[in-house]
Copies of this chain bind each other. A is one copy, B any other.
Amino acid sequence: MDKKLTIKDIAQLAGVSKGTVDRVLHKRGKVSQKALESINAVLEQIDYEPNLIARNLKNNKIYSICVVLPNPESDSYWLPCIKGIEQAKKEFKAFNLSINAHYFDPENTESFIAVNESVLNSSPDAVLLAPLFSKEALDAVEKYSAQNILVNTFNNQLESDEIRNFVGQDLYRSGRVAAKLIDSIAQKGQIAIIHFDEKFKNAVHMQEKEKGFRNYFLQEENSDYEVTTLKLKRKNYETKLEDFLKENPKLTGIFITTSKAYQIAEIIDKTKNNTIALIGYDLLDKNISFLNQGTIDFLINQNPKQQVYLGLSFLVDHFIFGKEINHSALLPIDIVNSENASYYME
């Protein structure tokens, strides 16, 4: 009664052979009206689900997937991605998969182009790409698609019809989450948004977060916060920030839009000013350390590990189990304090 029905069963019920059923299921034609009708009648009554295990047994191709991402040595934000890849490898070991990571220098567009070129030459079945450089990424995506290589992206959104999937976060929304947190913990007064990054390519990221952050306070009716934006680069950031703090003694909160909150925290720490609320991104060791010590109040987890893992498992689902790929998977925006941090760090 509970038994799963097979093609053979359907054939028997419809009074035809399994070949004919197969042709109907795959719309390969060459089926008489009569046979079609009797098979469809059976199919309507039962809920046929092809046995994916059997389907895949035959198809014993090794799928090769390349993950293209920045070198974690250049930016430790990407470090958890390695774990994500390892986890996927382990999890899907039993299937015919070959997953390889390819790193590019996040400071160097040429390197991004070169790595994509070399990946292209290795003709993988799919590429999971962190499209840091929009223009060059679009180029790469086009080339991959031309070679019928499936492209999925993670971390950075990229508008392209060629992209089958995106795994990441709603940055605007994460800005709003940060704003709500500031609203919860900071005294009324002045709030600073700090963009601390060399890299122009992160501009979109930072802008979206700022937009969400500001928008939250615009919607609040009688918000007593004044929001200022400050852009810092590696050069002279210490003195610049110190000056800013002196000029704005009423500062009650800072929202750092990148993973460099620890660098801000170091300076705040020196000034012994414990009344400033600090919100940043990403669970880097240095950030966690300031979180535990209390200088940073909350971190927002962008979950790079999960992004890669999910991106890969979508590809596996597609190749191995023939599932459709959703166009977009937005990960939760995890609020992290010193007490729940460990759960988000592997």
In the assembled complex, which residues on chain B have CB atoms less than 8 Å from the CB atom of A102?
none
Q: Is the CB of B95 within 8 A of A53?
A: yes
User: Does A336 belong to the interface (CB within 8 Å)?
Assistant: yes
User: Does A7 belong to the interface (CB within 8 Å)?
Assistant: no
Range of interface residues on chain A?
A: 35 or more
User: Does A275 belong to the interface (CB within 8 Å)?
Assistant: no
Count of chain copies? 2
Q: Measured between alpha carbons, how far is A341 from B62 in the docked complex, in Å? A: 40
User: Does A4 belong to the interface (CB within 8 Å)?
Assistant: yes
Q: Is the CB of B2 within 8 A of A98?
A: yes
In the assembled complex, which residues on chain B have CB atoms less than 8 Å from the CB atom of A60?
4
In the assembled complex, which residues on chain B have CB atoms less than 8 Å from the CB atom of A333?
339-340, 343
Smallest CB-CB separation from A300: which chain B residue?
A: B340
Q: Measured between alpha carbons, how far is A176 from B339 in the docked complex, in Å? A: 6
User: Does A203 belong to the interface (CB within 8 Å)?
Assistant: no
Closest chain-B Cβ to A45's Cβ sits at a distance in Å of: 18
Q: Is the CB of B177 within 8 A of A4?
A: no
Q: Measured between alpha carbons, how far is A94 from B337 in the docked complex, in Å? A: 40
Q: Is the CB of A173 within 8 A of B62?
A: no
Chain A, range 277-299, C-beta contacts under 8 Å to B: 297-298
Smallest CB-CB separation from A177: which chain B residue?
A: B339
Q: Is the CB of B62 within 8 A of A3?
A: yes
In the assembled complex, which residues on chain B have CB atoms less than 8 Å from the CB atom of A146?
none
Q: Measured between alpha carbons, how far is A216 from B216 in the docked complex, in Å? A: 31
Stretch with Cβ within 8 A of B (4 or more), from A154-162, A178-186, A192-200, A237-245: A178-186
Known: A62-B3, A297-B184. A173 touches B340 (CB 8 A): yes
Closest chain-B Cβ to A200's Cβ sits at a distance in Å of: 28
Known: A321-B94, A344-B332. A337 touches B184 (CB 8 A): yes
Q: Is the CB of B177 within 8 A of A51?
A: no
Closest chain-B Cβ to A78's Cβ sits at a distance in Å of: 21
Q: Provide a sorted-by-A list of 23 A–B residue pairs whose CB atoms are within 8 angstroms.
A: A2-B98, A4-B62, A49-B93, A53-B56, A53-B57, A53-B95, A173-B339, A173-B340, A177-B337, A177-B339, A180-B337, A180-B338, A184-B184, A184-B297, A185-B185, A216-B339, A330-B343, A333-B340, A333-B343, A334-B334, A334-B335, A335-B336, A335-B340
Binding site for B on A (CB under 8 A): 2-4, 49-54, 56-57, 60, 62, 93-96, 98, 173, 176-177, 179-181, 184-185, 216, 297-298, 321, 330-340, 343-344
